[in-house]
């Protein structure tokens, strides 16, 4: 009987010891910290990262590992890199080739004078195409760089010896590479009707040809596309549709 009690007591003590050890290790891990490099300011895309744009902060180790993948603890690993996307103020730096051009590859993305060569960031299978449209055909100055738009073509077709106006969507989910922005004072008053706003789109080569033809043959309008790239089936609309 005493033997059975002794073994039970020993097992209880061992179990308690293991639990105490694991608890200690867990609590100790909560006190471990890591140094993480974060931005001190907003860093625009296609910008060479300078040392004064960064700082090192100390954070709880588990939180750092959970929240930030490919984290950076040494500034020298990212100083001189070029951003592919905008980095917000206070955002941790990451060793992610989709986010930055690493310093050792920086020279491939610079011009001879040291400026960033923006053309190097355009994928080989894409082209830049610029349109000049009235502001109210570009969602009235509300589109931003990095947005996505759908493109509507409006033209005429001859039917039974009469011309009829029609509209159809020719492209969907097109990336805005850049856009000319106007302030409110420029858009105020009668002068707005004579203004032309330039917007540069990133498109496939074949789509560039389609846009070139479309702007010569008719009129183009843009709509802001807030989706994640899902295409929708859009029917062509004729002027006579509204008469029924």
Query: Alpha-carbon dihedral of residues 167, 131, 48, 77, nearest 10 degrees?
Result: 30
The neighbouring-strand residues paired with 102 are none
The domain spans of the chain are 33-121, 127-243
Helices of type H across 31-78: 61-67
| Residue 108 CA: distances (Å) to CA of 44, 46, 122 | 19, 13, 13
Phi, psi of 136 (to 5 degrees): -75, -10
Note the pLDDT of residue 73.
Answer: 84
Q: Does domain 33-121 have CATH number 3.90.1210.10?
A: yes
Q: What pLDDT score was predicted for residue 2?
A: 44
- Assigned token pair, 221: 């309008």
* pLDDT tens, residue by residue, 195-232: 888 999 999 999 999 999 999 989 999 999 998 888 89
153: confidence class by pLDDT, cuts 50, 70, 90: very high
Output the pTM of the full model.
0.68
Distance CA 236, CA 127 (A): 27
Alpha carbons within 13 A on the beta-carbon side of 47: 14
CA distance 54 to 16: 47
Looking at the DSSP bridge assignments, the partners of residue 150 are 223
Average pLDDT over residues 158-166: 83
Residues 35, 77 contacting (CB under 8 angstroms): no
Looking at residue 4, its pLDDT comes to 52
| Contact (CB, 8 A) for 36 and 92 | yes
- Kindly state the DSSP code that residue 49 receives in the 8-state scheme: P
**Average pLDDT, integer, range 122-148:** 89
Note whether 72 and 96 are within 8 A (CB).
no
* pLDDT tens, residue by residue, 68-122: 677 788 999 999 999 999 999 988 898 898 899 999 998 999 988 888 998 898 9
What DSSP letter does each residue of 93-117 carry, written as one string?
PB--TTTEE-GGGGGGGB-TTS-B-
Region 33-59 average pLDDT: 89
Q: CA-to-CA distance for 185 and 192, rounded, in angstroms?
A: 10
Q: Please provide the average confidence, as pLDDT, over all residues in the chain.
A: 84
Distance between CA 168 and CA 240 in Å, rounded? Answer: 14
3-state secondary structure (DSSP) of residue 7: helix
Q: 179 has which bridge partners?
A: 199
pLDDT (mean) for 150-173: 90
């Amino acid at each position: 009987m005493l033997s059975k009690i002794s073994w039970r007591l020993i097992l209880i003590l061992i179990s308690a010891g293991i639990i105490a050890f694991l608890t200690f290790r867990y609590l100790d891990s909560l006190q471990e910290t890591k140094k993480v490099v974060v931005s001190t300011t907003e860093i625009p895309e296609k910008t060479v990262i300078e040392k004064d744009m960064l700082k090192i902060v100390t954070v709880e180790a588990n939180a750092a590992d959970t929240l930030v993948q490919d984290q950076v603890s040494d500034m020298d690993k990212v100083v001189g890199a070029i951003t592919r996307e905008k980095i917000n103020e206070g955002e941790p730096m990451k060793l992610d080739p989709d986010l930055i051009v690493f310093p050792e590859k920086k020279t491939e993305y610079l011009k001879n004078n040291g400026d960033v060569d923006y053309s190097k960031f355009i994928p080989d299978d894409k082209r830049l195409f610029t349109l000049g449209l009235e502001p109210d055909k570009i969602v009235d100055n509300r589109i931003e760089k990095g947005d996505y738009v759908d493109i509507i073509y409006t033209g005429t077709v001859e039917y039974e010896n009469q011309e009829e106006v029609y509209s159809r969507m020719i492209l969907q989910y097109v990336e805005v590479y850049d856009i000319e922005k106007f302030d409110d004072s420029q858009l105020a008053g009668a002068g707005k009707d004579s203004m032309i706003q330039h917007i540069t789109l990133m498109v496939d080569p074949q789509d560039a040809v389609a846009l070139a033809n479309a702007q010569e043959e008719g009129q183009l309008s843009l709509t802001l596309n807030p989706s994640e790239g899902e295409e929708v089936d859009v029917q062509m609309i004729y002027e006579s549709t509204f008469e029924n």
